[in-house]
Amino acid sequence: MTHLLFLGDPAVVRAAVVGEPIVLDGAEGRHAATVVRVRAGQQFYVSDGHGRRVLVEAASVERSVVNGVVVEVSDEPAASPAFVLVQALAKGDRDEQAVEAATELGVDEVVPWQAERSVVVWRPDRVARSLARWEAVVTRATKQSRRSRMPLTAAPVDLAGLVERVTRSSLTLVLHEDAAPALSSVPLPDAGEVLVVVGPEGGISERELEALVAAGARPVRLGRTILRASSAGPAALAVLSARHRWR
């Protein structure tokens, strides 16, 4: 079974040396000691969330601290191209479900999009709280999937912000049920960012689609069935990963 993974202090993880002691404390140390119940002699991973992963063997466990010894240090390079999920806000936590699955499937960044037809609206006084929920989802999914790199959670964008992001991307794919090209047939760039844009329950409006296409985006379809806002993005990422990363 794959070792558990915890997110440690980046400075401590970066300074780790094989054979030297290392301490997992704070919230993660407390979780390891009291919730997961790591025991002396057990091995587990500690990551800085930026690609470095340390294999640790626990030496002693206290109430909220695990003292261990570094067994192995490895570094995971950043993926190229980077896969970015632009997820429209959706009701009933479907957007968070999409973010969770996308993280498990290897997305490199998630961007909340306040689309015209989004039922959910992040009011200015609640943006920070809503964004914190997404970040918590990403953090949990990162640990569950044993990722060394935690996806970025970007600030929310409106249509203007999304259009600007599209102009900077190497490729932007807009999932749309009326598109002719299949996602699986579109050539992928070797570097830069590949944006996958997913609309809300009511779909992407004509005005939004026209603006995104004018900025260089390409509408594509996944298949013949219509997917929910919670599953379309992860399905697209699975297709892209199968073509470019899972080889």
Per-residue pLDDT of the chain (247 residues; tens, 9 = 90+): 689 999 999 999 999 999 999 999 999 999 999 998 999 999 999 999 999 999 999 999 988 899 999 999 999 999 999 999 999 999 988 999 999 999 999 999 999 999 999 998 999 888 999 999 999 999 999 999 999 999 999 999 999 999 999 999 999 999 998 888 999 999 999 999 999 999 998 899 999 999 999 999 999 998 788 888 889 999 999 999 998 888 7
* CA gap 224, 189 in Å, rounded: 26
Query: Do 88 and 64 fall into the same domain?
Result: no
Sheet containing 21-24, strands listed edge to edge, beginning at the edge strand earlier in sequence: 5-7, 43-47, 52-61, 66-75, 21-24
Q: Write the CATH number for 128.
A: 3.40.1280.10
Bridging pattern class, strands 21-24 and 66-75: antiparallel
Query: Do 205 and 143 fall into the same domain?
Result: yes
Query: Do 38 and 97 fall into the same domain?
Result: no
**DSSP secondary structure letter of residue 106:** T
- Of 147, 170, 169, 176, the residue nearest 88 (C-alpha): 176
Q: Into how many domains does the chain fold?
A: 2
Domain range enclosing 190:
82-244
Q: Write the CATH number for 18.
A: 2.40.240.20
| Position 189, amino acid | P
Query: Do 48 and 101 fall into the same domain?
Result: no
Query: Do 189 and 214 fall into the same domain?
Result: yes
